[in-house]
């Protein structure tokens, strides 16, 4: 089981991956499940600190790195210096909105990478992303226009 959508019991899931399921780890994993816009450490910390006042940014950061090293979360870097976290570890593409800054998952066919020549280099990861304006922001733009 490697798809986050199949995870019904986070505690059991983390344990099955060899991770000690502390409350903070469970909450962070749950947050990633519920917030599918690829949050940063700051986003996660800001949203969870009211619920878990003892939570530090360092804990959020080290928990995410632990998840990454166990292959249950992946790191996403679209812009310089901005690291985001993705619970979807299956191959997929991303769409980044330049207005609201959210990043959405998009379906891509794995064959999209087949024709790429890597010139004899050895590829290990492929990243595919599109930058544009998301449908929510397009919608808002239209409203403003109409009013
Ligand atoms: Zn947007
Ligand atoms: Zn994603």
pLDDT at residue number 51: 95
The answer to whether residues 26 and 75 belong to one domain is yes
Rounded distance between C-alpha atoms, residue 53 and residue 24, angstroms: 11
pLDDT tens track, the chain, 147 positions: 467 888 889 999 999 999 999 999 999 999 999 999 899 999 999 999 999 999 999 999 999 999 999 999 999 988 778 899 999 988 889 999 999 988 999 988 877 777 778 888 887 777 889 999 999 999 988 766 544
Looking at the fold, whether 81 and 136 belong to one and the same domain comes out as no
> Rounded to the nearest whole angstrom, what is the distance from the C-alpha of residue 141 to the centroid of ligand 1?
10
* Residue after which a domain boundary falls, among 34, 55, 86: 86
Ligand 2 centroid, distance to 104 Cα (angstroms) = 6
Give the residue numbers spanning the domain of 8. Answer: 4-86
Q: Are residues 34 and 76 in the same domain?
A: yes
Residues 9, 73: one domain?
yes
Domain count, the chain: 2
The full DSSP string for 59-91 is: HHHHHHHHHHHTTSSEEEESSTT-EEEES--SS
In terms of domains, do 132 and 82 share one?
A: no
In b/e form, how buried is each residue of 101-125, taking b as 16+ CB within 10 angstroms?
A: ebbbbeebeeeeeeeeeeeeeeeee
- This prediction has a pTM of 0.81
Ligand 1 centre distance from Cα of residue 143 (Å): 14
Taking the centre of ligand 2 as the mean of its atom positions, its distance from the CA of residue 88, in whole angstroms, is 6
């Amino acid at each position: 089981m490697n798809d986050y959508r199949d995870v019904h019991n986070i505690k059991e899931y983390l344990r099955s991956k060899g991770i000690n399921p502390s409350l903070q780890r469970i909450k962070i994993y749950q947050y990633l499940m519920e917030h599918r816009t690829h949050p940063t450490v700051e986003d996660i910390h800001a949203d969870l600190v009211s619920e878990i006042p003892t939570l530090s940014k360092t804990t959020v950061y080290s928990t995410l790195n632990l998840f990454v090293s166990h292959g249950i979360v992946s790191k996403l870097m679209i812009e310089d210096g901005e690291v985001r976290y993705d619970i979807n570890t299956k191959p997929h593409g991303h769409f980044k909105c330049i207005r609201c800054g959210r990043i959405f998952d998009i379906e891509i066919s794995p064959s999209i990478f087949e024709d790429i020549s890597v010139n004899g280099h050895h590829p290990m990861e492929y990243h595919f992303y599109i930058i544009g304006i998301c449908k929510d922001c397009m919608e808002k733009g239209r409203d403003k226009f109409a009013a």
